[in-house]
Structure 1
Amino acid sequence: MNTWQDKEEFKKIFTVKAHILWEKELQDLTPNEVYQTVAYMVRDLVSEDWIRTNQIYAEEKAKQVYYFSIEFLLGRLLQSNLIGVGMEDVCRDGLKDLGWDLDKIIPEERDPGLGNGGLGRLAACFIDSLAALQLPGHGCSIRYQYGLFNQRIIDDQQVELPDNWLVNGFPWEVKKVDKAVNVRFGGNAYMRPDGEGNLECVYEKYSSVRAVPYDVPVIGYHNHTVNTLRLWRAEYSQEDMYRELSMGDRHRAFRYKNSVQLISRFLYPEDSTEEGRKLRLMQEYFMVSAGLQSIVRYYKKKIKESMYDFDHYIALHINDTHPALIIPELMRILMDEEGMNWEDAWKVTVRSVAYTNHTVLPEAMEKWSIPMFKELLPRIYLIVDEINR
């Protein structure tokens, strides 16, 4: 990891970075621009370690843990990351010479709207501890556009407003367009003979959602380890959009576009209605399908071992019930895409997946109607139905 040797070097790098980012003289920078400049500088510091950490994991074929959670309550990252790279004092002294107080710059960072309570804080602590202990472990979740909500009390009543935490951007994230995957919803799925005495699944007439990852570095304390929190954003498929438009149904095309964008818009959308529960189910499958597809792709490209040995190198952890669809989704990938039979796919799945339950409250034990599940996830429904037998 590169470091700023002293406050003079910090000031030189800060000046160059600020000019590139904002095209302003230093005295014209807003406090938020100062915060973002320092944040980008820290990310630059750890970039080599981030690349090297992933290289080491791949070369050593280290068993990696992927922690799936519907939320990660990270908190503000600037001060903790400065401490992690050992540069808090240098940053403080350099900013002071330039006329700013670090303690007044730190509050400029908005809390990432990626978590809400104990479940999210636990998830954030887990991935932070993994990096601090130099263990190969990463997080997987959704990049919520608005998070939960901002609370205001007006006329003695709670008013919920969107938490627009991304209004000024999020300097810690790196968008990885080339790592995008497609997640499928709806359509029809059924089994048919494959001509060799076995059954194969046909899945057709589905709609696709493009899942684009945004990676956030998880910085270990003074140890050059940088793990990854991968957050998925839902984008509409241009092919599906064009298909609807070509059929002359503009209203249906824009309904499709809006339904896709809703997937990663809010943390914990209202689920008192049928549409709200459907959106919850879409969110949860979107997260696990995108995450698993990404992991399997990495495994085949970097680890290059048999899929029957998948569990020797990959551990999938479910944080409470929200990512539970990881089980049938892994079964789907192993059978439909990797050609395994049911028994072998089940063995690999059982050995790969672990689960932690945090509460028995009803809101953590989500249920969906069979018709909704069958309509939205027909292929997964067939697998779940077989598991339940």
Structure 2
Amino acid sequence: MATATKKPLTAAQFKTKVLHHLNFTSSEVDFQDNPSAVLRAVCLAVNEVVYEKLKETNAAHTEQKARSVNYLSLEYLMGRMLSNNLHNLNLFDIAQKAVADLGFELEDIFEEGHDLALGNGGLGRLAACFLDSLATLDYNAVGYGIHYQHGLFEQQFHKCRQIETPDEWREYGNPWEVCRPEAVQEIPLFGSVETQAQVDGSVKKIWHPGQIIKGVPWDVPIVGYNSKTVNVLRLWESRACSHFDWDQFNAGAYQDAHSAQNQAETISKVLYPNDETEAGKELRFIQQYFFCACSIKDIIKRYQKQYGDDWSEFANQTVIQLNDTHPTIAILELMRTLMDDYDFNWDNAWAMCRQVFAYTNHTLLPEALEKWAVSMFERVLPRHLEILYAINEQFLNHEVARMWPGDVQMRARLSLIEEGQQKMVRMAHLCVVTSFKVNGVAQIHSDLVQSDLFPEFNKLYPGKLTNVTNGVTPRRWLKACNPKLSKLLDTVVKNDWAKELSSLNAVAEYADDAKFQKKFMDIKHENKVKLAGEIHKLTGVEVNPEAIFDVQIKRLHEYKRQHLNFLHILGLYRRLLENPDYDMHPRVFIFGAKAAPGYYLAKEIIYAINKVAERINNDARIKDKLKVVFLPNYRVTLAEKIIPAADVSEQISTAGKEASGTGNMKLALNGAVTIGTLDGANVEIAEEVGDDNIFIFGNTVDQIKAMKVAGYNPWQFYEANEELKDVIDWLRGDFFTPGKPGELGAIAHSLLEGGDPYRVLADYDDYARAQEALDVAYKDSKRWARMAILNTAKMGKFTSDRSIQDYVNNIWKLTPIK
């Protein structure tokens, strides 16, 4: 039976809904001085629309028996959700009018919200973009992760050093999530395995766990843009099965009465607990297993709701995507569940696993390819270790032996177990052996995965290793965060570019149009004025919006080379001190980054940038030609303010180290011009925008490899470049830290005595030349406007909608819901 088309909400109707929730949900009659209450009421009014669509989506999934992708990721960097949801539901203007009638600016209401910072950087933000695109394209998808009590830490600076404090993202609740107690799972840990002989001569394995943890699901709805679909992100919270001991409490042992609860809740307490101790390692390991086990049980439960005990359609209906190696234990858990709980034989269980799992590799860095001690498996997951050994034995004795008969070295290289003083499980190897597809996230990265990281697996499994270049959602990263530019684009693009980003190509026709250039650059200037206000509010530093806003925002890691940017800033400062009339356009260098709490050098780089910024920003001799700001607590919400205002996008990782990057795409989409190496997605961005509209510098992947073969000596570059030598020597003295010589010496030590592992010194000279070329280009306002416009126009490829469609076509084989 056809349903009548629903009329869209009016501003008056939306206002009525908001007032209803203020009066009857929050009991806030006098809300004029309480924008937080208005925020919650607006969110609840939006949720009325969202949950109705979610109900319709679930009904369509059931009716059409749609194949689903289950996206397992330890990170989701969702940011604030209200603005994005309003845009996706086409309610933004309506909400703006309704809230104005209540005496508030909608933008001020947004500021009352907390970021859902359940991620660290690109990995978690990519997962968020992918969920947005899956819903927008009407695919059946569920995201699975952990409901961290504390997301990524809140960053503050004290005496220029990073201080980490807890991120209380849901201290007073989160209006977007709903608890689903009917889907609670019980997860076993520790214990021992019993072998029982069966009547038919076979054996049955019984795991007797030493502890049971309860997994409580919280659902966050994911709203598609101009689509009928609302999918779900299901986040698991850990709790004790019996969390309160009445006897201990009555006996006066109040703390002990809660011990089981405290121990269980620790699992979902913090994103990436410090793993420098054995206890920390074990907590991370249990954290990964907990969310994987909950998710596998939930996937099976959802399947059985539709198909009962008939497993014949499971592989046809289900694909499980492993986002990096963190969810690898899901493979062993599905094997265990099929054999121990559903009486599958080995061959059928293994065949099933190899049909449903796919794996995304995000890194070539050896330290980021996870390995877990066999002893950890033995203690925490004894049954899974047995299954792992059996998989390894079958893999080595059949597949490896068939391809390389009698090759002991090859067996050792490909084994899932790394031999040594401490035996380790190679999680990435298990992913590659099991998965039916393995993808990298940019073409150059995927090529290196095949040639350098997994060459033997590529030979063993031809066609298994493939590429899906990352993308970003233009709904959040242009339409929502840069509304004035969005409206300008609407005037020259016929199609809904936010859903068909390739249609932005039409903007290229206006790249040389003087009127369009002026409008485009006026919007950029307005965004810069706005960001200048935010910079002053956060740091107290006054910056000039007429200056070049040069932006490097990403996780702080040596391979991303914030210290290369830093050395160049020192070089510019020396030039200005030697010649205050040095010809350069005023430049504001803007950093945003968090360093992992245990990463010493990353924290020293933050300290050095802040100390140098203090000196530069207060030095009248350089006539405000140079400013440096490090914005505290970088997160999605801050990125949404920085990116629309950026003139220059710093993408300067060592070639071959950045898998893809997505910040490069967001910045270019908003009209920033990239200065970068031929690394990650920079290569494909350069292909799209053309060599004249990007500044490429530095050694290539092949040249970096050649340096390693020839033997790299950083002292040669130090001695050969006078400016470079001077700025490194500066760091060893006390110019920036009076009375404390060597206080900034950690960077110098890393670059020289430490061997410069990321080839900063090898690229410095070419980087400085590229920066000079960039300065010249910016002074030609028409040329720069053309470059900025073409960067926006040529970003059509880099939408996460295209990424998801690539996954669908080449890996997942999904059908959109009708």
TM interval, shorter chain, is over 0.9
Contact kept, 8 Å, 2:22 with 2:41, in 1: the verdict is yes
Amino acid at match of 1:82: L
Contact kept, 8 Å, 2:243 with 2:260, in 1: the verdict is no
Between the aligned partners of 1:51 and 1:388, the Cα distance in structure 2 is 44
Contact kept, 8 Å, 1:288 with 1:326, in 2: the verdict is yes
* Distance apart, 1:124 and its partner CA: 0.8
* Equivalence for 2:182: 178
Between the aligned partners of 1:105 and 1:251, the Cα distance in structure 2 is 40
* Equivalence for 1:227: 231
Q: Are the structure 2 counterparts of residues 334 and 76 from structure 1 closer, same or farther at C-alpha, using a change threshold of 3 Å?
A: same
CA displacement 1:349-378 (0-9 Å, x = unmatched): 100110000102244322222122111111
Contact kept, 8 Å, 1:173 with 1:214, in 2: the verdict is yes
- Among 64, 68, 79, the alignment partner of 2:83 is 79
Amino acid at match of 1:146: H
Q: How does 1:205-284 map to 2 (within 5 A)?
A: 205-238=209-242, 254-284=258-288
With 235-244 and 24-33 compared, the bigger mean Cα shift is at 235-244
Alignment pair present for 1:63 and 2:67: yes
Alignment pair present for 1:19 and 2:18: no
Amino acid at match of 1:97: D
CA displacement 1:107-145 (0-9 Å, x = unmatched): 211111311200001111111110010011120000000
* Equivalence for 1:35: 39
What SS does the aligned partner of 1:146 have? coil
* Equivalence for 1:52: 56
Between the aligned partners of 1:165 and 1:314, the Cα distance in structure 2 is 33
Between the aligned partners of 1:339 and 1:205, the Cα distance in structure 2 is 19
Between the aligned partners of 1:369 and 1:123, the Cα distance in structure 2 is 28
* Equivalence for 2:761: none
What SS does the aligned partner of 2:225 have? coil
What SS does the aligned partner of 1:318 have? strand
* Equivalence for 1:387: 391
Gaps of 5+ in 1: none
Q: Are the structure 2 counterparts of residues 125 and 55 from structure 1 closer, same or farther at C-alpha, using a change threshold of 3 Å?
A: same
Contact kept, 8 Å, 2:242 with 2:261, in 1: the verdict is no
What SS does the aligned partner of 2:118 have? coil
* Distance apart, 1:189 and its partner CA: 1.1
Amino acid at match of 2:187: V
* Equivalence for 1:319: 323
* Distance apart, 1:300 and its partner CA: 0.7
What SS does the aligned partner of 1:368 have? strand
* Equivalence for 1:333: 337
Between the aligned partners of 1:77 and 1:251, the Cα distance in structure 2 is 37
Amino acid at match of 1:167: E
Q: How does 1:179-198 map to 2 (within 5 A)?
A: 179-198=183-202
Gaps of 5+ in 2: 394-818
Amino acid at match of 1:23: S
Alignment pair present for 1:293 and 2:325: no
Q: Are the structure 2 counterparts of residues 225 and 179 from structure 1 closer, same or farther at C-alpha, using a change threshold of 3 Å?
A: same
Contact kept, 8 Å, 2:192 with 2:209, in 1: the verdict is yes
Q: Are the structure 2 counterparts of residues 117 and 100 from structure 1 closer, same or farther at C-alpha, using a change threshold of 3 Å?
A: same
Amino acid at match of 1:232: W
Alignment pair present for 1:350 and 2:354: yes
Alignment pair present for 1:310 and 2:295: no
* Distance apart, 1:169 and its partner CA: 1.1
Contact kept, 8 Å, 1:216 with 1:228, in 2: the verdict is yes
* Distance apart, 1:293 and its partner CA: 0.3
Bigger Rg, which one? 2
What SS does the aligned partner of 1:74 have? strand
- Among 105, 109, 131, the alignment partner of 1:105 is 109
CA displacement 1:175-213 (0-9 Å, x = unmatched): 001110101101111322122211111111421100000
* Distance apart, 1:243 and its partner CA: 11
Between the aligned partners of 1:74 and 1:271, the Cα distance in structure 2 is 25
What SS does the aligned partner of 1:140 have? strand
Q: Are the structure 2 counterparts of residues 250 and 26 from structure 1 closer, same or farther at C-alpha, using a change threshold of 3 Å?
A: closer
Amino acid at match of 1:303: Y
* Distance apart, 1:29 and its partner CA: 5.2
Q: Give the % identical residues.
A: 36
* Equivalence for 1:200: 204
Q: Are the structure 2 counterparts of residues 240 and 314 from structure 1 closer, same or farther at C-alpha, using a change threshold of 3 Å?
A: farther
- Among 154, 160, 182, the alignment partner of 2:158 is 154
Q: TM-score, normalised by structure 2?
A: 0.46
- Among 2, 5, 9, the alignment partner of 2:9 is 5
Structure 1 consecutive aligned stretches of length 4 or more whose deviation exceeds 4 Å: 1-4, 239-246, 249-255
Between the aligned partners of 2:392 and 2:148, the Cα distance in structure 1 is 33
* Equivalence for 2:598: none
* Distance apart, 1:308 and its partner CA: 3.9
Contact kept, 8 Å, 1:207 with 1:240, in 2: the verdict is no
* Distance apart, 1:258 and its partner CA: 2.2
Between the aligned partners of 1:244 and 1:43, the Cα distance in structure 2 is 43
What SS does the aligned partner of 1:73 have? strand
Amino acid at match of 1:263: I
* Distance apart, 1:256 and its partner CA: 3.5
Between the aligned partners of 1:202 and 1:251, the Cα distance in structure 2 is 34
Contact kept, 8 Å, 1:61 with 1:303, in 2: the verdict is no
* Distance apart, 1:337 and its partner CA: 1.1
CA displacement 1:76-101 (0-9 Å, x = unmatched): 11011001111110110111111000
* Distance apart, 1:9 and its partner CA: 1.2
* Distance apart, 1:49 and its partner CA: 1.4
Amino acid at match of 2:304: K
Contact kept, 8 Å, 2:188 with 2:210, in 1: the verdict is yes
- Among 134, 145, 149, the alignment partner of 2:149 is 145
With 54-63 and 187-196 compared, the bigger mean Cα shift is at 187-196
Between the aligned partners of 1:29 and 1:233, the Cα distance in structure 2 is 34
- Among 358, 381, 405, the alignment partner of 1:377 is 381
Contact kept, 8 Å, 1:208 with 1:240, in 2: the verdict is no
Q: Are the structure 2 counterparts of residues 163 and 27 from structure 1 closer, same or farther at C-alpha, using a change threshold of 3 Å?
A: closer
With 123-132 and 26-35 compared, the bigger mean Cα shift is at 26-35
Between the aligned partners of 1:239 and 1:79, the Cα distance in structure 2 is 38
- Among 118, 136, 141, the alignment partner of 2:140 is 136
Amino acid at match of 1:124: A
Contact kept, 8 Å, 2:243 with 2:261, in 1: the verdict is no
* Equivalence for 1:360: 364
Amino acid at match of 2:301: R
Between the aligned partners of 2:154 and 2:75, the Cα distance in structure 1 is 17
Between the aligned partners of 1:206 and 1:27, the Cα distance in structure 2 is 51
What SS does the aligned partner of 2:86 have? helix
* Distance apart, 1:47 and its partner CA: 1.2
Between the aligned partners of 1:241 and 1:189, the Cα distance in structure 2 is 28
Between the aligned partners of 2:72 and 2:270, the Cα distance in structure 1 is 18
* Equivalence for 2:125: 121
Between the aligned partners of 1:245 and 1:383, the Cα distance in structure 2 is 42
CA displacement 1:313-372 (0-9 Å, x = unmatched): 011000000000010100011111111000000000100110000102244322222122
Between the aligned partners of 2:381 and 2:308, the Cα distance in structure 1 is 30
Between the aligned partners of 1:333 and 1:17, the Cα distance in structure 2 is 44
What SS does the aligned partner of 2:375 have? helix
Contact kept, 8 Å, 1:2 with 1:46, in 2: the verdict is no
